[in-house]
Amino acid sequence: MSSIKLGQNTSVIVYENDKCTGSSLALTSDASSITTMNDAITSVAIFSTLETVSTNCVWLYEHCCFGGSKVEICSDTADFSSINFNDVASSIRLGSNVSSVIIYTNTNYSGTSNTYTEANGCFTTTGNNDQASSLRITLK
């Protein structure tokens, strides 16, 4: 893929590897020449620009590439069982005022942790796919 035409109210993130992993590039308008990833795009996540993550929140998704069910979290959450999302999350999007998110494999902010400062299309690359049990949000 070397160019892309977006429909109205659409944005995309293109990825170098399958399952929305590897180098990525976010596009919010048509691109006649994607020089930075020319012929290297393997997967694409498509979003409606009419639906955005609340400013101080994050969206966790059930599947890679921002698929399946999702949950919005707007504050530190010590136990994902309380929101019926324990060991479910596979990808994340961050609100515009979120600086970072630390996701932990155990409840009460314990276990292995991974820090995200931008959208991540598949937790398989960070080793915590379907293992998230708590998180802390840091705002800008």
**Number of helical (H) and strand (E) elements in the chain, helices listed first:** 0, 9
CB distance 58 to 135 below 8 Å: yes
Mean pLDDT of the 117-133 span: 93
- Write the class of the CATH domain 58-139: mainly beta
Q: What is the largest CA-CA distance in the chain?
A: 47
Q: Which residues contact 104 (CB under 8 A, 6 or more apart)?
A: 110, 111, 112, 113, 132, 133, 134, 135, 136
> Where do the domains of the chain lie?
10-48, 58-139
Under DSSP, the state recorded for 120 is: B
Lowest mean pLDDT among 23-27, 55-59, 73-77, 135-139: 23-27
Residue 139 has pLDDT above 90, yes or no: yes
Mean pLDDT of the chain: 93
Residue 68's nearest CA partner among 85, 50, 44 is: 85
Residue 120 has pLDDT above 90, yes or no: yes
